[in-house]
Amino acid sequence: KQEVTQIPAALSVPEGENLVLNCSFTDSAIYNLQWFRQDPGKGLTSLLLIQSSQREQTSGRLNASLDKSSGRSTLYIAASQPGDSATYLCAVRLDFNKFYFGSGTKLNVKP
Amino acid sequence: DGGITQSPKYLFRKEGQNVTLSCEQNLNHDAMYWYRQDPGQGLRLIYYSQIVNDFQKGDIAEGYSVSREKKESFPLTVTSAQKNPTAFYLCASSQGNLETQYFGPGTRLLVL
């Protein structure tokens, strides 16, 4: 069974710092990997989707990388802002009905 | 505005009662999904539907039922057989099998 792990579970950084969130998975036969943001009591907002044939995706201050062979993905956030404070979730897709989500990294960016 | 709506935001269930959570999308997406989120845990798939009048069980379908009579609607019923229904329920949709999933705002279900 696919296991998805996100480390650390929580992270607190000062505003302006660059940071990296980690996601690891045990089965490398994935179709794609998606990073989401979740604010307290809210739904998930898609940030980046990386297909299995891709190595990275970028959107604004966000960059996500994928290394299938090692079962790892990282989400890089540049010049963090207090508005980035949220829980960040990664999800891998093995098949149409096979999704596995990590439990998330709760990020706090201090002004 | 295109998006996914879920209602109600909060729902209270009494013992032995069935309750239905609404999910509507105007994105013209073929696929729709229901997930359950428990504190400190990742999301788990309850049911999914690839097309109208067709749906399949996910990992934790016991105690739940769905219907897909219209492309834009995918309601979830939490039956009395679900003994631990307290959770945050999220509906999602995507255009194709492997495309980005878009999520609704969620419904929090509590047991009285």
Q: Is it the case that residue B41 has pLDDT exceeding 90?
A: no
Is the per-residue pLDDT at A97 higher than 80? no
Express each pLDDT in A6-60 by its tens digit: 999 999 999 999 999 999 999 889 999 999 999 999 999 999 999 999 999 999 9
Report residue B97's pLDDT band, with 50, 70 and 90 as the boundaries: low
Give kind and range of the element (H or E) at residue A105. strand A105-110
Q: How far is A56 from chain B (nearest CA, A)?
A: 15
Chain A residues with CB under 8 Å of B104 CB are: 43
* Mean predicted confidence (pLDDT) in B49-77: 95
Q: How far apart are CA B23 and CA B20, in angstroms?
A: 10
The B-side interface with A (CB below 8 A) comprises: 4, 6, 31, 33, 40-45, 48, 50, 56, 58, 88, 90, 92, 97-106, 108
What single-letter DSSP state applies at residue B70? B
Burial A38-57 (b: 16+ CB within 10 A, else e): beeebbbebbbbbeeeeeeb
Give me chain A's average pLDDT, please: 94
Tell me what pLDDT residue A99 has: 83
Mutate: best of B32, B103, B107, B108, partner A, most A CBs <10 A? B103
pLDDT for B1 beyond 70? no
Q: Give me chain B's average pLDDT, please.
A: 92
Residue B96 confidence (pLDDT) above 80: no
pLDDT reported for residue B37? 96
A18 touches chain B (CB under 8 A): no
Please classify residue A22 by burial: count the beta carbons closer than 10 Å to its beta carbon, then call 0-12 exposed, 13-18 middle and 19+ buried.
Answer: middle
CA separation for the pair B32, B30 (Å, rounded): 7
| pLDDT > 80? residue B49 | yes
Residue of B nearest to A9 (CA): B40
Whether the pLDDT of residue B106 is over 80: the answer is yes
